[in-house]
Amino acid sequence: MLFDVHAHLTHPELRAREAELLARAGAAGVTSIVSNGLNPADNLAVLELARRAPQVRPALGLYPVDAILPEMVALGIDYPRDEAELLPGEEAVEWVVRHVDQAFAIGEIGLDGYWVPEELWGKQERHFRALVRLAIEADKAMILHTRKRERRALEILLEEGAKRVDWHCFGGKVKLARQIAEAGHWLSIPANVARSQSFQRMVETLPRDKILLETDCPYLGPERGELNEPANVAGTAAFIAQTWREPLPLVRERLAENYTALFGTPP
Ligand SMILES: [Zn+2]
């Protein structure tokens, strides 16, 4: 029972190959793919996909850049999203509130200080906090994106008392990753682990019950430049087994237990 806690199967590059990708994931032993939505239009596509494919679990969210896109456009900042919905963040948050019953998890949500200028951080934080509160009230796990704002995201999550949290593709210091795991949260390791020293260090040093598998497909593939897909989590599990010096079936079992601990249901 393998799983991918962070996929973007509704991405235009993957959407056309849906049947093929799901078949390959199934053949690799992947029984759960949490497909993450970025904005209301994408969330809707995620819900439709989950209706067609029961192994796809819908995570409804608001990407931290999309949350603040109209304000960024007003400031003349360029951001590469073709199908960007220029919905105000407040409305996009409301959309998730209205559809929370249909969500397997809330994600992706978070803070981004890489694309978003500091003058908009306060507003971005308000949208993030609203979604964190929603996830806690609805008793759903949340899947987090943070870039350059990891410490602040942790502060907010601790203030709000968030416990069921997965940090996707964590790019901060490994020391902070350990603090996050000590706070009780999980961190998911992407399929590019074999060419990332920082993810390797996380696999070596984080508590083993706090590690999950993700792809972030179509991004972050095992081979640079190649499209990523959920089946690739099998390679990550094998890499982890090698690092831990444990038999692969045992590692897959442990990882499935971690998934169950976060989401409250097995993969
Ligand atoms: Zn993502």
What's 205-250 look like in SS3?
Answer: HCCHHHEEECCCCCCCCCCCCCCCCHHHHHHHHHHHHHHHCCCHHH
Residue 18 one-letter amino acid: E
Phi, psi (degrees; rounded to nearest 5) at 16:
-70, -20
The candidate with the shortest Cα–Cα distance to 140, out of 151, 148, 132, is 132
Q: How far is the CA of 14 from the centre of ligand 1 (A)?
A: 13
Q: How far is the CA of 249 from the centre of ligand 1 (A)?
A: 28
Q: How many helices (H) and strands (E) does the chain have?
A: 11, 8
Q: How far is the CA of 8 from the centre of ligand 1 (A)?
A: 6
Residue 260 one-letter amino acid: T
Q: What is the pTM of this model?
A: 0.96
In this structure, which CATH number among 3.40.50.300, 3.20.20.140, 3.20.20.70, 3.40.50.920 belongs to the domain 2-263? 3.20.20.140
Looking at the chain, how many residues does it have?
A: 267
Q: How far is the CA of 7 from the centre of ligand 1 (A)?
A: 7
Across all residues in the chain, what is the average pLDDT? 95
Q: How far is the CA of 259 from the centre of ligand 1 (A)?
A: 18
How confident is the model at residue 38, as a pLDDT?
Answer: 95
Q: How far is the CA of 145 from the centre of ligand 1 (A)?
A: 7
Q: How far is the CA of 118 from the centre of ligand 1 (A)?
A: 22
User: Can you tell me the distance from the alpha carbon of 267 to that of 255, in angstroms, rounded to the nearest whole number?
Assistant: 10
pLDDT greater than 90 at residue 87: no
Q: Can you tell me whether residue 1 is helix, strand or coil?
A: coil
Helix axes 89-99, 121-138, angle to 10 degrees: 10
Q: Reading across the β-sheet that carries 142-147, which strands appear in turn?
A: 2-7, 30-36, 56-60, 105-112, 142-147, 165-168, 186-189, 211-213
| Confidence label for 85 from pLDDT (cuts 50, 70 and 90) | low
Q: How far is the CA of 175 from the centre of ligand 1 (A)?
A: 23
Residue labelled with tokens 């990332």: 196
Tokens at 175, concatenated: 């020391």
Q: Give the residue extent of every domain in the chain.
A: 2-263
Q: How far is the CA of 57 from the centre of ligand 1 (A)?
A: 14
Q: How far is the CA of 243 from the centre of ligand 1 (A)?
A: 25
Residue labelled with tokens 């908009």: 120
Q: How far is the CA of 215 from the centre of ligand 1 (A)?
A: 9
| Confidence label for 117 from pLDDT (cuts 50, 70 and 90) | very high
Question: H-helix or E-strand containing 7?
Answer: strand 2-7
pLDDT greater than 80 at residue 75: yes
Burial class (CB in 10 A: 0-12, 13-18, 19+), 123: middle
How confident is the model at residue 96, as a pLDDT?
Answer: 98
Cis peptide leading into residue 108 (ω within 30°): yes
Q: How far is the CA of 6 from the centre of ligand 1 (A)?
A: 6
How confident is the model at residue 83, as a pLDDT?
Answer: 56
Q: How far is the CA of 251 from the centre of ligand 1 (A)?
A: 25
Cβ neighbours around 111 below 10 Å, total: 26
Q: How far is the CA of 95 from the centre of ligand 1 (A)?
A: 19
User: Can you tell me the distance from the alpha carbon of 70 to that of 103, in angstroms, rounded to the nearest whole number?
Assistant: 25
pLDDT greater than 90 at residue 220: no
pLDDT in tens, 192-218: 999 999 999 999 999 999 999 999 999
pLDDT greater than 90 at residue 22: yes
CA pseudo-torsion sign 159, 164, 167, 168: negative
Q: How far is the CA of 94 from the centre of ligand 1 (A)?
A: 21
Q: How far is the CA of 176 from the centre of ligand 1 (A)?
A: 20
Q: How far is the CA of 10 from the centre of ligand 1 (A)?
A: 11
Among 63-67, 95-99, 106-110, 220-224, which stretch is predicted with the lowest mean pLDDT? 220-224
User: Can you tell me the distance from the alpha carbon of 66 to that of 110, in angstroms, rounded to the nearest whole number?
Assistant: 11
pLDDT, average across residues 38-56: 96
